[in-house]
Amino acid sequence: MKKRALMNWGGWEGHEPKQCVDLFAPLLREAGFEVEISDSLDSYLDREKMRLLDLIVPVWTMSSITDEQQQGLLDAVKSGVGIAGWHGGMADSFRQNVDYQWMVGGQWVAHPGGVIDYRVNIINHDDPITAGINDFDMHSEQYYLHVDPSNEVLATTIFHTDEAPWVNGTKMPVVWKRRWGQGRVFYSSLGHVAQDFQVAEAREIQRRGMVWAARQQPAA
């Protein structure tokens, strides 16, 4: 039986949410998922439907979410539905909602210098999400995040910036996984715009992360 994924997009258009969904939805289908695409946070209100999902992919920057919508999302993940996302579509969402941020495991606070060249360092070469992938370069926003120390970090980056020299040398998580209740949570800070995923390593890490996060047992 195919696994069920909900890709939910919206918020700030500068992150090209629809274009990114259009890129990853076919990859999920190739991986055996039945994919539903929604541009409304009200999708989270259907508790029975949410419970039957295997994966949620939120692509929603900033904006706001109602208490009822947030609870529908958090409860689904806590029950075992996986969640996986990237960049500002997951870690720069709903800035007033600390429970959502706790689930994600981090929140964007800055990208010194804007779009720059930086290096991504794989620090776990055994995990299935990063196995066989070498360090690689990005030309994009280098995300400075407030992160949860309980995250299992798979890749990092080091800051070298004239704009905020006091953070130079900081090793910042780029890719991590974690748990929220029974649900698996995956996040990568790569992917400011759809073109960033032209970098094969960034695209493959995200693809593997979504597959990893999906519920491991069929919904009852």
Contact 66, 171 (CB under 8 A): no
| Cα–chain center distance at 145 | 13
CATH 2.40.30.160 given to domain 3-213: no
Name the percent of the chain lying above pLDDT 90: 97
Per-residue pLDDT, 62? 98
**pLDDT, tens digit, for every residue of 155-212?**
999 999 999 999 999 999 999 999 999 999 999 999 999 999 999 999 999 999 999 9
Q: Domain coordinates of the chain in residue numbers?
A: 3-213
Whether pTM > 0.95 for this model: the answer is: yes
**pLDDT, tens digit, for every residue of 102-141?**
999 999 999 999 999 999 999 999 999 999 999 999 999 9
The C-alpha atoms of residue 119 and residue 204 are separated, in whole angstroms, by: 16
Host H or E run for residue 49: helix 47-51
Residue 1 pLDDT level (bands cut at 50, 70, 90): confident
Q: Is the dihedral of CA 119, 14, 67, 33 positive or negative?
A: negative
